[in-house]
Structure 1
Amino acid sequence: MKRVRESLAGNRERERRRKTVRVRLLIHGSMRGKFNMAVDEAIQRACQRGEVPPTLRFYAWDPACLSLGYFQDVEREVNLDGLREIGADLVRRPTGGKAVLHDDELTYSVVIPEKDLKGSVLETYQELSKALVRGIVSLGIPAELAALEHGVTMRDQRFRQAACFSAPSWYEVVASGKKIVGSAQVRKNGVILQHGSIPFVFDSRKVTKCLKTSSPEHAAKIESMLSRKAAGLCQILGRRISRDELQRHLILGFQETLGWEIVPGSLTRDEILEAVELSQEKYGKDRWTLERGRPSGELY
């Protein structure tokens, strides 16, 4: 009987080891929005070609930048004068979802083959969100996954407009009833790209300035709703958190939740060259940013 138990334990350990995914860690500083999006796509393309391993990346934005979901209509939803007023760039993401103002925040991205993170779009979104929750909880923040009662009410939907942080979707991360992480995902050729904004401070006034509103009263309602529905980590915790501190806790969350072996790495020469080309020929062009395109992958 003892030998049987030992054999079963050995089988479980071998199975656990087989499932361990080795993940490259990239920690980048602040860059312009068009290059941030270009790097994410360049990594996804390299992963599709089998040239690089699954990758976890952290980065920030300088200057501030409003990123649009793949399908959003700039003319109908974005206040370009407001963007200029706050000195923010504009870029369109390869992922779906709504607009996010990237300012005082840390952004994460995960690029991983579907064979290494199995499940539907919603299921993998949930798994990655669990890892984020674990990391954020270890900071002392009461984070959890959004449940149905945290979802968008019909009244809120009237004022939701273009803002990602106006309300959480299924399996997004909330704390004290407020959305604290906004994520989006796209799948192409068997490879997942999910990236998300984790604000340190959420500025509802700035976000509202970026959105097209019909009147000052409408803008005031949007700003009030955003203040109720979203917050930054520092606002929840009551103290300043550094990027390094948050990165350490999030890495721990991914390791403990998904069992990843996370190893520091760097972009390959080909990834850098492809990112430069994408930033110039795609993400830096008005025809991409200002015009909606056709779907080029499975979006969430």
Structure 2
Amino acid sequence: MDARLIRHIDDPFDGAMNMAIDQALAESVDQGAAACLRLYRWKSPTLSLGYFQQYDDRQQHPWSADLSVVRRSSGGGAIVHDAELTYSLSIATPKSRHGADLTIYATVHNAIIETIAAIAMQTARRFADSGWLPLAADNAFLCFERRTDEDLVVSGYKIAGSAQRRVGRAILQHGSILLQTSPAAPMLPGLQCVSGKSCDPAQFADHLTATLSKALDADTSPAELSAAETTRAAEIAAARFSSPAWTHRR
């Protein structure tokens, strides 16, 4: 399988454009473009709300009160995008499939586990296999204080979580890998704090690219957004992710 690799680590976008680019890439894949792995950071610390969360619920988390806010098109809890690496994978699936694709979840998370083992420590595992009890309720405001079977935990702390949505025949899966502790979420120790090992985002991205490409049997080539994808992302950002009506819809 051919796949594109797009990195926006040293030249990050704001929250609205990050979410819009993910959507535009998924639309491209739905229309026949090659699969795309995107690894990125955020122009400034940003709080992303899950699609179904109430905007006013952010009052539960005063540490992030001063951050800009964007609402994702995927579900789950809120994420403080600061001391982390975000990824998205847009990949085509058979037209007959509907709902979540657990195989993609497992493939991506196993690649993250292998990357954590190579860079930091050997103890990352799926929450379902970890033997740890949840640290918070399933409906906690922050994603990293919730637990699902596919989440990755290290020493009882959630380090990575993902969400999916379908865009036609494409699956868009994006997620966050908590590398360090953010002042806007001091209750969440990142991988560096838990492991005692330095966790550089670019180095982590390099390892994850190699590991996930092998797992997907993908010939991954560095790429940039096409002109059409750039234009489409700007349209989506303006119409949806930058819109107060979208952000405050719940």
TM-score normalised by L of structure 2:
0.88
Counterpart in the other structure of 1:22: 2
Counterpart in the other structure of 1:206: 184
User: Is residue 151–residue 168 contact of structure 1 (8 Å, CA) maintained in 2?
Assistant: no
Distance 1:277 1:82 in 2: 32
Residue 83 of structure 1, CA deviation: 7.0
Distance 1:74 1:133 in 2: 32
Q: Are positions 1:91 and 2:73 aligned together?
A: no
Equivalent position to 1:42, from 13, 24, 32: 24
**Where in structure 2 are there 5+ consecutive unaligned residues?**
none
Distance 1:83 1:288 in 2: 23
RMSD over aligned CA atoms reads 2.4
| 1:85–1:94 CA distance, 2 compared to 1 (3 A) | closer
User: Is residue 111–residue 212 contact of structure 2 (8 Å, CA) maintained in 1?
Assistant: yes
| Aligned residue identity for 2:40 | Y
Residue 188 of structure 1, CA deviation: 2.2
| 1:151–1:275 CA distance, 2 compared to 1 (3 A) | farther
Q: Are positions 1:167 and 2:164 aligned together?
A: no
| Aligned residue identity for 1:168 | R
- Higher percent of residues as helix: 1
Q: Are positions 1:269 and 2:227 aligned together?
A: yes
| 1:187–1:151 CA distance, 2 compared to 1 (3 A) | farther
Distance 1:114 1:138 in 2: 30
User: Is residue 47–residue 54 contact of structure 1 (8 Å, CA) maintained in 2?
Assistant: yes
Q: Are positions 1:58 and 2:36 aligned together?
A: no
| 1:171–1:161 CA distance, 2 compared to 1 (3 A) | closer
Distance 1:190 1:232 in 2: 34
Residue 106 of structure 1, CA deviation: 1.1
| Aligned residue identity for 1:91 | V
User: Is residue 107–residue 212 contact of structure 2 (8 Å, CA) maintained in 1?
Assistant: no
Q: Are positions 1:72 and 2:30 aligned together?
A: no
Alignment length, in residue pairs? 244
Q: Are positions 1:103 and 2:82 aligned together?
A: yes
- Higher percent of residues as strand: 2
- Give the match's secondary structure for 1:138: helix
Distance 1:257 1:81 in 2: 37
| Aligned residue identity for 2:127 | A
| 1:140–1:85 CA distance, 2 compared to 1 (3 A) | closer
TM-score normalised by L of structure 1:
0.74
Distance 1:285 1:49 in 2: 26
| Aligned residue identity for 1:67 | S
| Aligned residue identity for 1:49 | Q
- Give the match's secondary structure for 1:147: helix
Structure of higher CA gyration radius: 1
| Aligned residue identity for 2:21 | V
**Where in structure 1 are there 5+ consecutive unaligned residues?**
1-20, 208-222, 293-300
Residue 84 of structure 1, CA deviation: 7.3
Q: Per-residue displacement from partner, 1:79-134 (whole Å, max 9, x unpaired)?
A: 29947754x11001111111101011111110001149x89533321222112111
Distance 1:169 1:161 in 2: 12
Distance 1:133 1:259 in 2: 18
Equivalent position to 2:101, from 111, 114, 121: 121
Counterpart in the other structure of 2:212: 254
Superposed counterparts of 1:134-283, under 5 Å: 134-141=114-121, 142-147=123-128, 149-150=131-132, 152=134, 156-157=136-137, 160-203=139-182, 206-207=184-185, 227=187, 230-283=188-241
- Give the match's secondary structure for 1:157: coil
Counterpart in the other structure of 1:288: 246
Identity %: 30
